[in-house]
A and B are shown apart, each in its own frame.
Chain A
């Protein structure tokens, strides 16, 4: 039954003289109402009870358009499976021979309200900050970022046009991590947008990123409180991350102590978690990556104890700092100062280290 073990009986009789006690059974799976069975007793009261299901349709309570789905006769009655699961909190009418015979309501979600965390976590961020990540405690609904995320200045005023209104939004697979871009057209020097509106943030100013209440999770439960993170804008970062300047602290052979890399600046959270690898020869080591709160120190704990010998830290060149500069190129390369991005290097950068 694929986990379809939770069955809720919910019915509301529109025509109580005919239907008292006749159930509509809502089938739930993973918190979603994926189908409904209407007991045959309800349908038998009406003319035209052939084995056909063509006389049957379901609509939203206030609509006439029938739901797309498949209806089939089961022993108990008609089982209707809509193309999309029924929505929590909505009421649906069941029609038989063009008459509404009963209705049912999908219970509202009872999941815990979502919680939100922010990255980067540092207190001072470059004025040409490119990305903000929002971490949610559970899978969220899409398409709501525009109405729920704000950046406020120190007077509490909302900054207009700070974020790029991207459709589709950039969620990770389980929709717990959302990537927000500050408008690159405003950050990028010399674009019309940059000249007319200026960069979204100004060095020396205090800002607050705010997530407003009411952002619904996958099942419709909204965030109940305001989440925020304050930061100062510092000077613009117009240099590439330089992996040669990172400090590598190697652990001792025979232990599973972490390998620690100290960056000389805050690195983009998702890329730091994703684009740095440890190799022994050609073999990539399995292990767990952790970043300290301000994404300046990277820890790698191997699944198996370290052996003495030579290792290589492989850094993908796509690794970015907070301003979108990667190992290969600046976010906006100034061609007048020989910063052309036209040179393609290897896709990776390597640092050797030794475990003793």
Chain B
């Protein structure tokens, strides 16, 4: 019994620390964190990283925050809540038409749902679903680090009446293998900006900022903005799988995403008429890997990694409605957010036919 306890302890420690290169030295990702109260002006996107670190994409401050959550491991109970939006509005003292859910993620250790909400007047809130009630994430006197993502020319330029014009809205945020990846939309130029920021953040380190292009049917290429993405391993190599505001699903080898480069991705699918993918996660099921895609006007989709790998060509000929790799439409429509609860279960935020926005847990066997 004692041996088992020790073994669990050792596993627990290795689970919390990554090993740097071949040196065998454990990396404490919070080593350069400071204690204080970050002034977070907006919560545009959320992602969890190692050691339960929560990354917060703050468009209004043009910064990424990494905060220590110190959440203890949880029971991993099924997450269910009816009319989440109404419950959030009531807890925030307003009506449902005044709130917008920005992002929703599951803490990898505590298995609790973290949700980012904005008031229509722009006020943010970051909440945890604790049982059947929402509580605010403590942002006072916490350990955190941050990095500015505004290094564009004339960031502070204002119009003739002194109003700041340019904003860079974070569209998605993710952590993969020591890098925080962030995509954004400008309110001015129509372009795709992707940044890959080494983590732990170092203020003197240059972040990779690059333009990534994709072609449609081999003829016209563009660098339109990325709406959502995930990073994953395909065929033994790390790839960025990105969906664009104009529907194509495009893959990029991560090792080619170097600063200042102009990288052309491979379009592997177009996901349907007037449909924008809203969220992408990876699912493992019966030894195989899949992408799960939540869509604005299509059902939840499942796409096999094997299909993507074997689809070697970029889309090159006219096709009907949707094209490229095969996908399976799952019997879940109007899914706005999806995240992994554990290896067997996923949490979905779904707008039901009765208009309610429900949070539910679904076994991967049904996906």
A-B interaction? yes
Q: A65-B91, A273-B159, A320-B190 are in contact. Are A333 and B220 (CB under 8 A)?
A: yes
CA distance A146 to B154 in the complex (A): 30
Give the number of A-B contacts (CB < 8 Å). 224
Selected interface stretch from B66-74, B128-136, B285-293: B128-136
**Contacts of B167 on A, CB cut-off 8 Å?**
170-173
A179 contacts partner chain B, Cβ-Cβ < 8 Å: yes
Number of interface residues of B (CB under 8 A): 74
Contact B247 A59 (CB under 8 A): no
Cβ-closest chain A residue relative to B220 = A332
Q: Does B157 contact A (CB under 8 A)?
A: yes
Q: Which residues of A contact B220 (CB under 8 A)?
A: 188-190, 332-335
Residue B264 is within 8 A (CB to CB) of chain A in the complex: yes
Provide the main secondary structure of the chain A interface: loop
Whether the Cβ atoms of A185 and B93 lie closer than 8 Å is no
Q: State whether the Cβ of A230 lies closer than 8 Å to any Cβ in chain B.
A: no
Rounded to whole angstroms, the CA-CA distance of A176 and B98 in the bound complex is 18
Q: In this complex, which of B92, B102, B186, B260 has the most chain A Cβ atoms within 10 angstroms of its Cβ?
A: B92
**Interface stretch of the complex, out of A44-52, A71-79, A158-166:** A158-166
Of B23-31, B106-114, B116-124, B347-355, the one with at least 4 CB within 8 A of chain A = B116-124
Instruction: Tell me if A43 counts as interface (CB < 8 A to partner B).
Output: no
- A196 to B90, Cβ gap below 8 A? no
Contact partners of B264 in chain A: CB under 8 A: 342
Q: Which residue from chain A places its CB closest to the CB of B263 in the assembled complex?
A: A342
Of A9-17, A83-91, A241-249, the segment with at least 4 beta carbons within 8 Å of chain B is A83-91
Q: Quick check: is A216 within 8 A (CB to CB) of the other chain?
A: yes
Other-chain contact of A130, B94, B190, B248 (Cβ < 8 Å): B190
What is the CB-to-nearest-CB distance from B43 to chain A, in angstroms, rounded to a whole number?
Answer: 11
- Chain A, range 269-322, C-beta contacts under 8 Å to B: 270-271, 273-275, 277, 288-290, 316, 318, 320
Q: How far is the CA of A86 from the CA of B166 in the complex (A)?
A: 30
- Contact indicator B189/A271 (Cβ below 8 Å): yes
A232 CA / B136 CA spacing, docked (Å): 51
Question: Is B54 interfacial (CB-CB < 8 Å)?
Answer: no
Known: A172-B165, A324-B190. A68 touches B216 (CB 8 A): no
Task: Give Cα A234–Cα B154 distance, bound, in whole angstroms.
Answer: 32
CB of A156 within 8 Å of the partner chain: no
Taking a contact as CB atoms under 8 Å apart, the answer to whether B216 and A191 are in contact is: yes
Confirm or deny: B185 has a beta carbon within 8 angstroms of a beta carbon on chain A.
Answer: yes
- Contact of A188 (CB < 8 Å), options: B135, B213, B246, B323: B246
Nearest A residue to B322, CB-CB: A192
The answer to whether B91 and A193 have CB atoms under 8 Å apart is no
User: Are A87 and B276 closer than 8 Å at their CB atoms?
Assistant: no
Beta-carbon contacts of A81-102 to B below 8 Å, as 1s and 0s?
A: 0111111001010000000000
| Partner of A168 from B100, B191, B216 at Cβ < 8 Å | B100
A63, A188, A190, A268: which contacts B224 (Cβ < 8 A)? A188
Which residues on the A side are within 8 Å of B165 (C-beta)?
172, 177, 270, 273-274
B125 touches A83 (CB 8 A): yes
Chain B residues, CB < 8 A from A204: none
State how many residues of chain A have any CB contact under 8 Å with chain B: 84
Given A67-B92, A167-B100, the answer on whether A335 and B190 have CB atoms closer than 8 Å is: no
Q: Is A344 an interface residue (CB 8 A)?
A: yes
Digit string of B263-287 for contact with A (CB within 8 Å is 1, else 0)?
0100000101110100000000000
Residue contact A193 to B163, C-beta cutoff 8 Å: no
Q: Chain B nearest CB: distance from A190 CB in Å?
A: 5
List, in ascending order, chain B residues with CB within 8 A of A197's CB. Answer: 273-274
Instruction: Given A171-B167, A188-B216, A334-B220, answer yes or no on A143-B100 (Cβ-Cβ < 8 Å).
Output: yes
B121, B133, B166, B270: which contacts A270 (Cβ < 8 A)? B166
Task: Kindly supply a per-residue 1/0 record for chain A positions 38-64, scoring 1 wherever the CB is within 8 Å of any chain B CB and 0 otherwise.
Answer: 000000000000000000001110011
Q: Are B60 and A173 in contact (CB under 8 A)?
A: yes
Q: Verify if A121 is at the interface (C-beta below 8 Å from B).
A: no
Q: Across the interface, which residues of A come within 8 angstroms of B163, CB to CB?
A: 172, 174, 176-177
B87 at the interface (CB under 8 A from A): yes
Contacts of A335 in B (CB 8 A): 215, 218-221
Q: A298 CB to closest chain B CB, in angstroms?
A: 11
Contacts A142-B122, A316-B153 aside, 19 further interface pairs with beta carbons under 8 A come to A65-B90, A68-B91, A87-B93, A87-B98, A141-B98, A141-B121, A144-B120, A165-B276, A170-B169, A174-B163, A177-B159, A179-B188, A184-B224, A192-B270, A270-B188, A333-B220, A335-B218, A335-B219, A336-B219
21 A-B pairs (CB sep. < 8 Å) = A60-B93, A65-B90, A68-B91, A68-B93, A83-B92, A83-B136, A144-B120, A165-B296, A172-B165, A173-B167, A176-B163, A179-B187, A185-B245, A189-B220, A191-B247, A193-B246, A218-B121, A268-B188, A270-B165, A275-B188, A331-B190
Which 6 A-B pairs rank lowest in CB-CB distance, beginning with the nearest?
Answer: A185-B246, A141-B120, A65-B90, A170-B187, A332-B220, A63-B90
Q: Which residues of B contact A (CB under 8 A)?
A: 44, 59-60, 87, 90-95, 98, 100, 102, 118-123, 125, 127, 133-136, 153-154, 157, 159-160, 163-167, 169, 185-191, 211, 213, 215-224, 245-248, 260, 262, 264, 270, 272-274, 276, 296, 318-323
